[in-house]
Amino acid sequence: DDDDDADGADGADADAAQNTMKHNHTEQQSKQLFKTILKSVVKIYCTYTEPHFALPWQMKRQDSSTSSGFIVQPKRIMGNAHGIAFHSVVRVRRHGCSKKFIARVLHVGHECDLCLLTVDDPEFWTDYLNPLPLGEVPQLQDAINVVGYPTGGDNVSVSQGIVSRVGVGKYSHTDQPLLAVQIDAAINAGNSGGPAVKSNKVVGVAFETLD
């Protein structure tokens, strides 16, 4: 009986050790995937000149802004349309790189507040930037991470929140009512265009709403 008890204890210890190894392996995989996500999020710098609607024969003074974006396809960057509106020059910077690269605007969807950019300089793509996989619309109470570059800093930030609402909301860029997911975490200015991530898949894009 004593031998049986000893064998049972050894078996339980072995199972616990195996479960710990599996947990550590899964945690390492998760961290590695999240590093890949951080690597594929970029900061967008836009120099723009808005039209002067009160004085239509002249333009307003040139200004600049920053927003966020992420790699969605080989050599394609997704961001917010309002982040590059009335642009004259758009530049992007990779995570961990100080150099800003000239970007070219390929497509703009003002209604859905999205845009697609590319960078023609092959040096930008040498750091093996992975396109981020797209996931399904999240459900209520799902945990979401929003990744981006808040205004006033050059470091990437991660805000975690819980989905509190999924429904139709008005987008501030064009006042269009479209599908929106609301989370209980504050999203800072400059994070617009950054990916909302669940289980290492992009399930949304950070933006502003009127509601």
Query: What pLDDT does residue 191 have?
Result: 84
Query: What pLDDT does residue 22 have?
Result: 47
Low-confidence ranges of the chain (pLDDT < 50): 22-23, 25
User: Model's pTM, two decimal places?
Assistant: 0.81
Please confirm, yes or no, whether 82 is among the known catalytic residues: yes
Query: What pLDDT does residue 69 have?
Result: 95
| Residue 17 CB burial class (10 angstroms; 0-12, 13-18, ≥19) | exposed
* Residue pointed to by tokens 């609402």: 165
Joined tokens for residue 112: 């859905």
State residue 103 phi and psi, 5-degree precision.
Answer: -110, 155
Query: What pLDDT does residue 151 have?
Result: 80
- Among the listed residues 65, 68, 113, 173, the single catalytic one is 113
- Among the listed residues 40, 67, 68, 82, the single catalytic one is 82
- Give the amino acid at 169: G
